[in-house]
Amino acid sequence: MRYVASREEMQNIDAYSINNVGIPGIVLMEKAALALEEVFLERIPTDSRVLIVTEKGNNGGDGLALGRLLLEEGYTVDFYEIGVIPHDSDSHQIQKHILEQMEADFLMKFPDEEYDVIVDAIFGVGLKREVAGRHREVIERLNQMEALKVAVDVPSGVDASAGQILGIAFEADITVTFGLPKVGLLLYPGADVSGEVIVKEIGFPNKAVEEIAPQMVSFTTDDLEYLPERKAWTNKGSYGKVLLIAGSKNMAGAALLSGTAAYKSGSGLVRIFSCEENRVILQEKLPEAILTTYDSEEKAWELLPESLSWASVIGIGPGIGQSAFARKLVKQVLTLGKAPLVIDADGLNNLAALLQEDTELRQLFHEYEGGMILTPHLKEMSRLTGEEIAEIRSNLPKAAASTADKGHVIVLKDARTIVSDGSVPSYINMSGNNGMATGGSGDVLTGIICGFLAGGLDILTAARLGVYCHGLAGDAAAKEKGYYSVLAGDLPNYLETILKRKHFPEEI
Ligand SMILES: NC(=O)C1=CN([C@@H]2O[C@H](COP(=O)(O)OP(=O)(O)OC[C@H]3O[C@@H](n4cnc5c(N)ncnc54)[C@H](OP(=O)(O)O)[C@@H]3O)[C@@H](O)[C@H]2O)[C@@H](O)CC1
Ligand SMILES: [K+]
């Protein structure tokens, strides 16, 4: 697990490293420049022409130090310092002095020439307000130029805490960020202008990071170790019984996708509770599943209690529709269910309606004892909370944390999904891609989370790891099929290659 920092947290880590641990700022700056240089040497030929655009803060200092290292490597480097902020940072002054001693040229006006690479070292985590005036003009011109665009730490104009664009932002192809990923580089629209985000270690001591303890975390492949244990002496009863209440007439696919994903993520038994019309297709496509089907509402109410008491995990929602019957299904599950419960898709839409109109249900919902995971996308979240989508989007972590009730976990699905149980840290997901914005992808996620719960994970870990592995499966699928052609049905197959890493890391 690694921390993801807001602007203020990163500034505090900086300050703690320098003031309390005693690492000189100029040392950190040199390591930042070396980290940038490493990216250049790996990816950019040394005969390239580079324009480095700076201001007088430490972000600018990083840019100047990088320029010095690049000159030594043989790159052609022009420096353009905007220089309208009133004070130089100490480290910036030192870097400027060194370059003057080296007789490096500083351009007096914005260049008309062409460059292969443009480096944005105008503002980093010190950006505090709207970008205006000369800064705005320069960023506008840089964005119009044809070149590879590299941002130092944060693209200038991106609020490192929430990903908002403060007026205008440098549009980077690559952002080399120091120490920890910044929240603003991961959330949209900041993520859109950050390009590929490369995180480089520059010597912030662990003590500083632990002391500040940022409020967001993310997973890396090391965290696959949290996958449910598989012991030698076990049987299908050891890995849980998942009941999926999914599908309705003409909506067999949702049940099939979540059922397949639940099996592929390790469930011992998967039982699908659906309408009789779906029996044949489910039986053919997923013969491993136990089917409980109803051909009338009366039959459904007769069968449901036994199915619920059988289950060690319950998932409800994919493809159930929004009829009065589906609404009652959700209510019955909240009334009779005892196991950890995942509510998704139409399950959430029905829940939203019930919460508005039914006081008794509100109580059942708040007091559900088995633990609950809700997996809304922004529209479903808006229905659940009554908040506008734009408002939710303006601060996803806050929206997720404030909606998570006691014993509930919210999986707020977006290009960067947030998982929160209302406490800190919340989780921001860094796997996945736009190829997964396709019908049925959410049904697969529900199945994966149910499978991980069935394997014995607690609700928070199952939700975080489910989202992470779902994204990794999507990344593996996109790598082979391209972003246009990933189907939700592909994801359970690619999931195999991800989960396999826990026991066969050498084969990947
Ligand atoms: N600490 C360290 O030693 C290390 C730091 N590192 C690097 O330093 C970066 C942080 O540096 P930083 O704190 O100096 O802030 P930076 O982003 O350069 O900008 C600050 C200046 O901009 C100004 N300003 C702000 N907003 C503005 C606006 N809208 N329009 C106009 N002006 C505006 C602001 O003015 P003020 O608000 O104070 O009046 C201030 O003068 C960090 O991202 C990393 O790259 C690494 O080298 C590791 C070691
Ligand atoms: K920058």
Per-residue pLDDT of 413-458, as tens digits, reads 999 999 999 999 999 999 999 999 999 999 999 999 999 999 999 9
Give the DSSP H or E segment for 36.
Answer: helix 25-43
Query: What residue numbers does the annotated binding site cover?
Result: 58-62, 120, 124-130, 153, 156, 254, 319, 377, 413-417, 442-443
Q: What does the buried/exposed string (b/e) look like for 247-282 if buried means 16 or more CB atoms within 10 Å of the residue's CB? A: bbeebbbbbbbbbbbbbbbbbbbbbbbbbeebbeeb
Atom of ligand 1 nearest to the CA of 160: 43
Whether the Cβ atoms of residue 175 and residue 155 lie closer than 8 Å to each other = yes
List residues forming the annotated binding site for (6S)-NADPHX. 58-62, 124-130, 153, 254, 319, 377, 443
The CA 117 to ligand 1 mean position distance, Å, reads: 22
**Token pair belonging to 54:** 């700076």
Cβ count within 10 A of residue 482: 10
Token couple for 65: 């130090």
Q: How many CB atoms lie within 10 A of CB 469?
A: 28
Ligand 1: which residue has its CA nearest to atom 44? 59
What is the model's pLDDT at position 507?
57
Give yes or no for residue 298 having a pLDDT over 70.
Answer: yes
Domains, in order of start, for the chain: 2-214 (3.40.50.10260), 235-501 (3.40.1190.20)
What residues flank ligand 1, with Cβ below 6 Å?
14, 25, 28-29, 32, 55, 57-60, 62, 85, 89, 91, 123-131, 135, 152-154, 178
Contacts (Cβ under 8 Å, ≥6 apart) of 94:
26, 61
Cis peptide upstream of residue 189 (ω within 30 degrees of 0): yes
3-state secondary structure of 373: strand
Amino acid at 6: S
Across the strands, what pairs with 346? Answer: none
- The token duo for 369 is 């004892």
Average pLDDT for residues 473-478, to the nearest whole number?
97
Mean pLDDT of 391-407: 90
pLDDT score of 325: 97
Give distance in angstroms: CA of 198 to centre of ligand 1.
Answer: 20
Q: Does residue 153 carry a pLDDT above 60?
A: yes
Pull the structure tokens for residue 50: 């580079």
Phi, psi for 469 (deg, rounded to 5): -70, -35
Of the listed ligands, the closest to the CA of 33 is 1
Q: What atom in ligand 1 is closest to the CA of residue 123?
A: 17
Contact (CB, 8 A) for 150 and 173: yes
Lookup: tokens for 308: 């619920």
In this prediction, residues 345-373 reach a mean pLDDT of 95
Give the ipTM of the model, two decimals please.
0.98
Q: What are phi and psi of 479, to 5 degrees?
A: -60, -40
What is the average per-residue pLDDT within 243-252?
95
Return the percentage of the chain with pLDDT > 90, whole number: 94
pLDDT score of 306 more than 60: yes
Give the pLDDT band (50/70/90) at residue 177: very high
Residue 57 CA to ligand 1 centre (angstroms): 4
